[in-house]
Structure formats: structure tokens, C-alpha cells
Amino acid sequence: MSNTDSEKTVKRICPLCEACCGLQVTIRDHQIIRIRGDDDDVFSHGYICPKGAALKDLHEDPDRLRTPLIKRDGKFVVASWDEAFAEIERRLPAVRNAGGNDAVATVIGNPAAHKIGLLLYFPRLARALGTRNVFSSSTLDQMPKQLSAGLMFGSWLSIPVPDLERSDFMLILGANPMVSNGSLWTVPDFRGKAKAMRLRGGRIVTVDPRRTETAAVSDVHHFIQPGTDVFFLLGMVHTLFAEQLINLGGLAEHVEGLAEVQAAVQAFAPELVAARCRIEAHTIRQLARQLAVAKRGVVYARIGTCTQEFGTQCSWLVDVLNILTGHLDREGGAMFPKACAFAANTVGTPGVGRGVPVGRHHSRVARAPEIMGELPLTCLAEEIEIPGEGQVRALITIASNPVLSAPNGDRLAAALEQLDFMLSIDIYLNETTRHADVILPGLSPLEDVHFDLAFGQFSYRNHARFSDAVLPRQPAHPPEWQILLRLAAIVQGKGALIDIEEADRQLFSAEVHKNCGPHADAVLQLLAGWSGPEKQIDFALRSGPYGDQFGLQPQGINLAKIKAATGGLDLGPLQTRIPEVLRTPSGKIELAPALLIADVARAAQALAAAAPKLVIIGRRQIRSGNSWMHNLPSLAKGPYRCTALIHPFDMDRLGLTDGGLGRITSGIKSIEVQIEMSEEMMPGVVSLPHGWGHDMPDTQMAVAAQRPGANLNALLDEQGRDPLSGNAVLSGIAVDIYPL
Ligand SMILES: Nc1nc2c(c(=O)[nH]1)N[C@H]1C(S)=C(S)[C@@H](COP(=O)(O)OP(=O)(O)OC[C@H]3O[C@@H](n4cnc5c(=O)[nH]c(N)nc54)[C@H](O)[C@@H]3O)O[C@H]1N2
Ligand SMILES: Nc1nc2c(c(=O)[nH]1)N[C@H]1C(S)=C(S)[C@@H](COP(=O)(O)OP(=O)(O)OC[C@H]3O[C@@H](n4cnc5c(=O)[nH]c(N)nc54)[C@H](O)[C@@H]3O)O[C@H]1N2
Ligand code: SF4
Ligand SMILES: [Mo]
């Protein structure tokens, strides 16, 4: 921290996307003067994007909620925290008493992954609720990857990431890290790293239905028919077997199931899949060969390959390719980060485990299997609407806006109106929270401490960083971990007025006793200086893979050391971790999980299907973060962005004009959009960003309402799912467009 008389500059990790950049925030008299990238940050080295700087707008946004709201006679009124908790206590337990545990559902959204208080304390609330109706944005996003990684490597978050800094060949599918700044891959400044790689002679190939910003910094780009990556990937794996390109290298003794994979891909010669994915057979073969001969190569795929009917198969086949070519767990290939704390693959017995259980229960109406303790978010509306035992009658949303972010939000919005009680923990009165009976606001990120619990496992380099609060919070405004503990106490019948610090101490002490046995008291003594999330972080760090083991390893790390280090602690490049990282029952990489091998038959059946004439896909944008950053003036300014990109060929065919209006329809659903002609698009594919549609009544987002945009998800069907993971199908949906 550097100080002048009136100004001081403090460090803060950005919580707005997975890149987790280190920022420098300059403040004077509790006012933010400016926000910049932090050159001293050991992980991001000064990189920043426009969203990071917009934390100032977020902090100052007059629409951001600072006090609880209670709905009285259909209108929200400002309430004190005591009044809000009293209202919840009056209404929530009554629903549970009448309908049982499953009558209360929870939905937790994307920003929660960046809020340590929500991540650490949501499980405490979930345990108190004991409901099976747990939903999250994971089933709009990465659940397929978690499932395939869980089945192959034994834990849900053991997802290998590209070691780009040492790579010389990278194949990217369905990801646009130039804009998204990476996902399931924490990699600030992808542009710089990609550029350095190509200067070293490395090559990047991108496969995407749009010639994206990432394609623009690649050596080669191929269009692919949306939703058909599974066939392309099966064709590549087929080629490796057919052309004897398999080379497991040192992985050979750690892999099980090679023969089953070979048999499963038999029917997918490139010549048979080429027409379906609209990529020529020789290109598929060539890419397989290129990957096989690359000294340090890697395949990386993200959301475009997950939000499909075959999302789990795509996610699996990507790792199969990395393994068969000997690139998994090798420098410059796909490697497993070793997080400094909280990673399931750094606790327990190294190299073996129980694997991941799936389908322990099913959703009541659609019978969709539970994955990772969650049900598909696209099942929520029907679980509210349809009567019967276990019907959802109350809902708690936490940092989530499913009315915009999930398919067919209209149906969900109508269902929310039927609930007996709805509580939202959220910082805006928006499309979803307007349906709540009570809204409890979280803090501005700058008023809160920060630790990247979720992203150490996906980082391009191992590191340990922590941010203190930059600005003080209002004394009456509790941090989110306290909100969740109070809710848990209400649910448990202890009442809202419990002593929070004491309740926290008791829960934490019970956990330490469970984990540390006879040493628990000594450990608790050493942690006595911390409370809340910091106490849990220090415990996880000290007992973690780099930890000081409470004094047994004096060179090891702890929270105090991280706080004292300028720009955090660099823990070095990624290291080889197989077999130690595995937690499978066999102690091997399970290359051919039965669930996935069986599902290949479904792909074989779908191979013959004809592609629709026109399909729609999504598009992320630098100045936008899913559904909730359109109220920040520095991001909202500039040209109108919620446009439908269409190839000139389709424009002509459909009689559309550049800059004109069009109606996109899908079955009986339709939206109006502004058309933008673009040679970037694959003919037959239209691209529209998601997260827009801020024209719904009774919200409080004045800036966003000025240019609401169109809601892509209003076109989509909530019944479109990958049956294995329950993930929503958001890409490659058949549509028609008419000029207006
Ligand atoms: N068609 C289509 N739909 C998609 C996608 C797509 O690619 N295409 N992407 C999907 C993906 S990947 C995701 S992750 C989901 C995201 O969908 P959601 O998980 O619903 O996340 P957001 O839309 O970002 O909404 C975030 C909510 O959190 C609130 N919020 C922000 N910060 C805080 C905070 O600090 N505390 C609290 N308590 N609340 C906060 C915001 O006000 C907002 O209500 O959208 C999905 N929807
Ligand atoms: N600026 C910004 N950054 C973000 C977000 C944001 O909203 N704005 N959201 C954050 C979140 S929650 C997430 S999950 C990540 C996601 O990070 P990424 O996965 O990098 O997400 P996208 O930028 O949507 O890139 C997906 C790409 O898939 C392509 N695509 C669509 N359908 C298909 C298909 O069927 N096959 C193939 N091969 N490609 C297809 C799209 O054209 C697009 O280029 O981004 C995060 N970062
Ligand atoms: S890239 Fe992500 S983490 Fe970095 S400044 Fe932008 S939003 Fe924040
Ligand atoms: Mo996401």
C-alpha cells in the first residue's frame, strides 16, 4: 500500500471474471479515484480489462441495493436488517413445516464463485435446509466438464488446463478467451500469452462457428456447424487409432480403458462425420496428426462445447485426445494446477479415491439425475408449477438472475409468482429479484475481503493471493457470510438473533475437531486471531499442499504471509501430478467411463440428422458480464451491442438489411433484434449475445433500461438438455428470421 497525504493505493483482486486480475485501487476520503492493473501482481502482472475498472461504477451505482427491501402490497419498501430477517423468520419456516425440506429450493449464480463469503457459507445454509432442490448456473455452463473430469480423474474440479506458456500447438474449440478472458482456465492476458507462444513458433487453431477475436489471433480458423463438435472430436479420436498415432508416453501405466475407447469410435471415420460438422475429412485427419506430432500440444474447449446436447461427450473427448497424444500432465500440454487451498485433489490419500457419485436422486418431474448434488436449473420452473410431494413452494436465489440467464425465463418468471415465499440475496432489483418477497443486498466487492477459492484449480500458474477490504462497509450492513449463517439459524429454529461470531466459532470448531482429531485444540489456538472466512482460509492454507502445517513446516505459507507479500505469492509453474492427483477407485485415469461409452450410441443415432437451415448461437462481449453489468455507465456506453450477426449470404436469402430490425422466431417464441451483417459468421448461423432484455417492468436498473437489448434466452426451450449432465442446450438452436 502506498500513501500520500490524502490519496492511497491499495491492492484488490478483481472478482468479475475468472482471470482474477490484481488491481490497484487509488482512493481518497473513501472515494475511488482510479482503478488500474497491478504491475506487482505475481499472477496477472498489470493486466486489466474494462470491467475491472468498472468496479468504480459498481461501487458508486445509485441503483445498487444498500439496504434490504421487503415487498408490501406488491411494492418494495426499504427495511432494516432486523425487519428483513424477522419477515424471513415469519415466512420461510412455515413453508418448510408445511411442505418438508424439498419445498425450499436454492439457486446460486455465477458471481457467487467469486465471493468467498458465499462460497464458504452456502454449504452451511444448504445443510440446514436439507433440500434436494439445489440449482445453480453450473447447469447452464460447465457441468458437462465437471462430470467428465469427475468420472475420468475422480474429482469434480480436477480439470486440466492448457500450459500455454510452454506449449507449441493449441487447438481451441467453443471458447473465445480473447473476450471471455478464459474459463475453467484462469489466464489473465490470454492475448499476450498467445502472442508470445506464436513468436516462439507455436501454432493456434480455432474451431468456432464465428471467426472470433480468438480466431483473429490464431494461425488457422475452421467453422463448425454448431452442436456437432462431438462428431468432429470422435472423428479425431478415430483418426488417432486408425493411423496408429496413439502415444500415451509415460501415462501408459496410469490409463485404463483404451480398448473400449477404440471400439466406441470405430464408426466415426472423418469421412462419415465431415458432412455433419461441415469440416472436411482431410482437415479432421490433419488436425489429429498435428496434435499427435506436436512436441507440446493441447486441446482446450469451453462453453460452446458444453452447452450442447452432447456436452459431456465433448468434454470427455477433449481429454481423451490430450491423453491419447501423450499431452496430458506434460509441460506445454493439459496440466493439473495444484491449488494452495480448498482443492479436493490435494486432500485425502493421493492417487486413489471414491470417484464421483452420480444420480443419487432425481428431479421430481423430469427425473433428471442429480450431478454434484445439483439438479438442472432448467427443471426449476416445472418443480414450482406441478403439484405433488416435494413441490417447490419457496425459493432462495443467491447472486443469480435465471429469468434472463436461463432458457425460457418467461415460464420461470410466471412460476416465481406462484411461490409462497421468495428471498433473494442480490445487489440489484432486477428481472429475477423483482419477484422476491425480501431482497438482502450483498456488499460492494470493494467493501469485502477476497480470496479465489474456486480458481486456484484452474490457474495457468500456481499462486496464493488475498485482498483485504478496500473501503469500510456500513456497520449495519452484514457481509454475505453472516447473512447466510443467520438464514441457517432461522431454518434450524434458533432464530435470527443468534450471536453470529459464536455460531461461526462453533461450526468451525466442530469441523476442525473432525479433521484434526487430537490436534484440534492446538490448531484452533493458532487460528484464534482470525474470524469468519479468514479463519477458514488460514486453516485451509496452513494444512494445504504449500502450508506451514501449523509450524511443522516453518517455510510453508499461511494467510499472514500472503497478506504481507506484495502482489501475492507465486508458487511456480504447473507441475506433473499424475498419479498423485487422481481420486478414482482404480487409481488410474478412467479413459472409458461406462456412462460415456454407452452414450456414444446416442451420437451414432444423431449422426444422420440434417442440419437446420439457420441456427442461433451466443456471443460474449468485453463490456458485458452475463446479465448484470449493463447498468454500469463505463461499460454501457458506446455503440449498440446487442445485435444479431448474420453472414451476407443469409442476409440476402432472408431479405434482411444491415442495421435494420428483424424478428427471430423459434417455434412460438420470438424476439425483435437489430441485424448486423458480418462476414465473421458461418453461413447458416446467427449470433446474439445473452444476458440482455432489460425491458421488464418493476426493476431498478436505470442505465440498463435505456438500451435493454433482446433476450436470447427467451427463444430457447428449457427442455433442451444434455441428458448426462443436465446441462442446458444453449447453442445451435434452429430459428427463422424475418425482416421487420
Ligand atoms: N443463451 C445463453 N445463456 C447463458 C449463457 C450463454 O452463453 N448463452 N451463459 C451461461 C453462463 S456460462 C452463466 S455462468 C450464467 C450466468 O447466469 P447467473 O448465474 O444467473 O449470473 P448473472 O446473469 O451474471 O447474474 C448475476 C446475479 O448476481 C447478482 N450479483 C452480482 N454481484 C453480486 C454480489 O456480489 N452478491 C450478490 N449477492 N449478488 C450479486 C446480480 O445482480 C445478478 O442478479 O448464464 C448462462 N446463460
Ligand atoms: N466479457 C465477458 N467475459 C466473460 C463473461 C461475459 O459474459 N463477458 N462470462 C464469463 C462466464 S460466466 C463464462 S462461463 C466464460 C465463458 O468463456 P468462453 O467459453 O470463452 O465463452 P464465449 O466467449 O461465449 O465463447 C464460446 C465460443 O463458442 C462458440 N460456439 C458457440 N456454439 C458452438 C459450437 O457448437 N461449437 C463450437 N466449437 N463453438 C461454438 C461461440 O461462437 C463462442 O466464440 O466467460 C466468462 N467471461
Ligand atoms: S479480465 Fe476479468 S478479472 Fe481481469 S480485470 Fe477484466 S473482469 Fe476483472
Ligand atoms: Mo459461466
302 lines ligand 2 (CB under 6 A): yes
Whether residue 664 contacts residue 674, with contact meaning beta carbons closer than 8 Å, is answered with no
447 C-alpha vs ligand 3 centroid, how far in Å? Answer: 18
Shortest-distance ligand to the CA of residue 187: 3
Q: Could you tell me the domains of the chain?
A: 1-53 (3.30.200.210), 64-131+376-452+466-497 (3.40.50.740), 148-348+578-605 (3.40.228.10), 499-567 (no CATH), 612-739 (2.40.40.20)
What confidence tens digit (pLDDT) does each residue in 64-109 have? 999 999 999 999 999 999 999 999 999 999 999 999 999 999 999 9
| Helical H segments across 492-574, by residue range | 500-516, 520-526, 532-542, 559-564
Q: Span 1-14, mean pLDDT?
A: 81
Q: Is pLDDT above 70 for 355? A: yes
Q: What is the pLDDT of residue 101?
A: 98
DSSP E strands in 410-477: the ranges are 421-425, 438-440, 461-464
Q: Is pLDDT above 60 for 653? A: yes
Cα–Cα distance, 8 to 460 (Å, whole number):
31
Q: What is the pLDDT of residue 4?
A: 60
Q: Is pLDDT above 60 for 630? A: yes
Residue with grid cell 440482455, as numbered in its chain: 692
Using a 6 Å CB cutoff, which residues line ligand 3?
14, 16-17, 19-21, 48-49, 51-52, 181, 188
736's enclosing H/E stretch is strand 736-739
> ∠295-297-302 over CA atoms, to 5°?
175
Cα–Cα distance, 496 to 494 (Å, whole number):
7
Query: Which residues does 22 contact at the CB level (< 8 Å), separation at least 6?
Result: 11, 12, 13, 14, 37, 38, 40, 41, 42, 43, 44, 465, 567, 568
Q: Give the atom of ligand 1 at the shortest distance from the alpha carbon of 440.
A: 38
Q: Is pLDDT above 70 for 5? A: no
142 C-alpha vs ligand 2 centroid, how far in Å? Answer: 11
- Mutational pocket test of ligand 3: of 181, 455, 623, 624, the residue with most ligand atoms within 8 Å of the beta carbon: 181
Q: Give the atom of ligand 3 at the shortest distance from the alpha carbon of 20.
A: 3
469 C-alpha vs ligand 3 centroid, how far in Å? Answer: 18
55 C-alpha vs ligand 3 centroid, how far in Å? Answer: 10
Count of CB atoms situated within 10 Å of the CB of 154:
26
What confidence tens digit (pLDDT) does each residue in 504-549 have? 999 999 999 999 999 999 999 999 999 999 999 999 999 999 999 9
Q: Which residue's CA is the closest to the ligand 1 atom numbered 11?
A: 141
Q: What is the pLDDT of residue 6?
A: 85
Q: Give the atom of ligand 2 at the shortest distance from the alpha carbon of 173.
A: 38
Cα–Cα distance, 683 to 616 (Å, whole number):
11
229 lines ligand 2 (CB under 6 A): yes
Q: Span 385-389, mean pLDDT?
A: 97
Residue with grid cell 415466512, as numbered in its chain: 91
What confidence tens digit (pLDDT) does each residue in 196-215 have? 999 999 999 999 999 999 99
Q: Which residue's CA is the closest to the ligand 1 atom numbered 7?
A: 618
DSSP E strands in 626-715: the ranges are 643-646, 661-666, 669-677, 685-687
- Mutational pocket test of ligand 2: of 146, 278, 303, the residue with most ligand atoms within 8 Å of the beta carbon: 303
Q: What is the pLDDT of residue 695?
A: 97
| pLDDT confidence bin for 430, thresholds 50/70/90 | very high
Q: What is the pLDDT of residue 546?
A: 98
| pLDDT confidence bin for 59, thresholds 50/70/90 | very high
545 C-alpha vs ligand 2 centroid, how far in Å? Answer: 32
Residue with grid cell 429450493, as numbered in its chain: 105
- Mutational pocket test of ligand 3: of 25, 34, 51, 179, the residue with most ligand atoms within 8 Å of the beta carbon: 51
179 lines ligand 2 (CB under 6 A): yes
444 C-alpha vs ligand 3 centroid, how far in Å? Answer: 16
210 lines ligand 2 (CB under 6 A): yes
388 C-alpha vs ligand 4 centroid, how far in Å? Answer: 32
Q: Which residue's CA is the closest to the ligand 1 atom numbered 29?
A: 399
Q: Which residue's CA is the closest to the ligand 1 atom numbered 40?
A: 399
What confidence tens digit (pLDDT) does each residue in 143-163 have? 999 999 999 999 999 999 999
DSSP E strands in 547-595: the ranges are 569-573, 589-590
Query: Which residues does 343 contact at the CB level (< 8 Å), separation at least 6?
Result: 157, 456, 457, 544
Determine what percent of the chain is predicted with pLDDT higher than 90: 99
110 C-alpha vs ligand 4 centroid, how far in Å? Answer: 6
427 C-alpha vs ligand 4 centroid, how far in Å? Answer: 19
13 C-alpha vs ligand 2 centroid, how far in Å? Answer: 22
| pLDDT confidence bin for 309, thresholds 50/70/90 | very high
What confidence tens digit (pLDDT) does each residue in 315-354 have? 999 999 999 999 999 999 999 999 999 999 999 999 999 9
| Helical H segments across 543-682, by residue range | 559-564, 594-606, 633-636, 648-654
| pLDDT confidence bin for 3, thresholds 50/70/90 | low
Using a 6 Å CB cutoff, which residues line ligand 1?
109-111, 115, 137, 140-141, 303, 398-402, 405, 425-428, 430, 442, 618, 626-628, 690-691, 712-713, 730
Shortest-distance ligand to the CA of residue 455: 3
Helical pair 143-153 and 311-324, crossing angle rounded to 10 deg: 40
